[in-house]
Structure 1
C-alpha cells in the first residue's frame, strides 16, 4: 500500500500594509532604507480522501478590528466555501497561540486541538498578559484553549508527534515558547508548514528575525532547522507572495487560495 499523502490548501484571509521597520526586529541594525511592506494572513487545511486536518484558524473579526487588520474573507466563510464546517469535529493544530492563529477556535467546538505543552503552559501562565506578549496573545481567545482542555479535547505533547499518517508536528520554539512546524507528506514530497517559525522567506534567505520573538537563540535555531530540513517546499506564515508559489485553487476562493499536491478521491 502506498504511503498516505495529503493535499495542502493555503487560504489567505487577511492582509496588512506596513513598513519594513514594522516587521523586522531592530531593523536599523541592517543599515538599509525603510520601505513599504505587505504581509498576508493565512490558515491551512490538509485533506486526504475524507480526512481533514485544520492547521490554525485565522483571526476573528474582533481580533482584526482590535489591531487594525484587514479581513479579506471570514475564515469560517472561506472554509464553508470548500465544504468544511467548523463543528464537524475535524482535528485542529494550533501552531502557536497568537490571535491571528487561534481566532475562531471557539467555533471548532467538537474538534480535538493539538498544541505543544510548553505553548499552552506559557499562555496560561504568569507572563502571558505582559504588554509585549499580550498584543499578540488575546486572553479572550486563550479561553477557548482552556475550554478545550476542560472538555478533554486538548492534545498536549512535547517535542514532536505524528497525529496522522504523514502529518508530524515538530516543536521548534523561538517566536513563541512552543511554536510548531508541521511536516506533511504530499505527492511532491514532504512539505513543511513553517507557520511563524518563518514569517517570510526573507527571514530564511537573510537570517532576519520578525519583530516579536520570545527567544532569540531559539528563533535563529528554528531558521537553521528549516534551512537544513529535507523538504519539497517550505510554506511561511505571512509572506505576501506565498500563494503565487503554488497552483491557484480558483473557485470557490479565486485569488485567495492555493493548493499543494493532488487531491485523492
Structure 2
C-alpha cells in the first residue's frame, strides 16, 4: 500500500450486532488434540464500516433475521438499524466488500440494491458451483442469499479479484483463503495506524496467538498461511488487528458511548481528517 494523504485516511467502525454462547470444542478444529479441558466461549457477530469525508465502504452485512433465528443467534441490534445509525443511505450506493459468503456475512446485502459488491473470484466461483450444496458447506449459507449474489452478478454489480484489490487509496482487500476459498482480509489506513480487518481469516485473538485453526475450514494449509500473512502485516506495516468474532474486540478500541450504537460499537481513527 503506497503512502497516502491525510484526506485518504479513514475511520473504521466495528459494529457488534449479535452474539451466542458455545464451547471451545465447537469452535476450534480437532480441539481434543490439544489435550486441554473444554471451556465455555462466547462468539460475537460484527460488521465493519470504513468512512472518511469522501467515501463509505461497508465490509460484510451480518446475518439476516432468518439466518440468525434458525441458528438460535441473539440479535443485539438489527444491522439495518445500525447502518442507519451510522448515517449510511443506501441511495448513495456505498461499495460493499464481501470477505466471504457465509450467512453471517452476507445476510443483509439487499440493504444495498445498487451497490458495487467486491469479493474474491475464488469465493464467487466456489459458491456458484455445485460444491456449495454439499452439507459441510451448505451448513454455513442461506440459499436465498446465494441467489441474491447470483442476481447481483447478472446485474454486473460484482467486482471480483484474484489476490489483491485496491478499493480506493488507503483500502486494500487481500484474498487469504483457508476458512473459505476466497476468504479475504481488508487493510485500511487511519490516522491511528494501519488496521487489519481479519474477518474470519481469524475469528478469535486466541486463535491467532496460539495457532488454533477454526473448526470450519476449506483448506487447512491456507488457513495457517492466512495467520502468517496477518502476522507479517502486524510485524511490518499494521498497528491494529480486528478479528472476526472475538467478544473482547470492542474493549480493545475507542468505544461508542452515545446514540443507538452505544455499547455496541467501537472506532479506530477519525472520520473527519484535519
* TM more than 0.5: yes
The 2-side partners of 1:45 and 1:2 are apart by 20
Q: Is the 8 A contact 1:123 1:137 kept in 2?
A: no
Q: Deviations over 1:99-138 (max 9, x none)?
A: 0000011221010000000100000101111111111122
* 1:21 aligned counterpart, secondary structure: helix
Unmatched segments (≥5 aa) in structure 1: none
The 2-side partners of 1:249 and 1:261 are apart by 12
* 1:235 aligned counterpart, secondary structure: strand
The 1-side partners of 2:210 and 2:99 are apart by 23
* 1:148 aligned counterpart, secondary structure: helix
Does residue 255 (structure 1) correspond to residue 263 (structure 2)? The answer is: yes
> Aligned Cα RMSD in Å?
1.1
* 1:219 aligned counterpart, secondary structure: helix
The 1-side partners of 2:88 and 2:256 are apart by 15
The 1-side partners of 2:247 and 2:172 are apart by 25
* 2:251 aligned counterpart, secondary structure: helix
Q: Is the 8 A contact 1:76 1:86 kept in 2?
A: no
Unmatched segments (≥5 aa) in structure 2: none
In structure 1, the residue matched to 2:76 is 72
The 1-side partners of 2:120 and 2:263 are apart by 32
Q: Which runs of 4+ in 1 moved over 6 A?
A: none
TM-score normalised by the chain length of structure 1: 0.98
The 2-side partners of 1:188 and 1:35 are apart by 35
Does residue 221 (structure 1) correspond to residue 228 (structure 2)? The answer is: no
Which residue of 97, 100, 103 corresponds with 2:101?
97
How many residues get paired? Answer: 265
Does residue 6 (structure 1) correspond to residue 14 (structure 2)? The answer is: no
In structure 2, the residue matched to 1:56 is 60
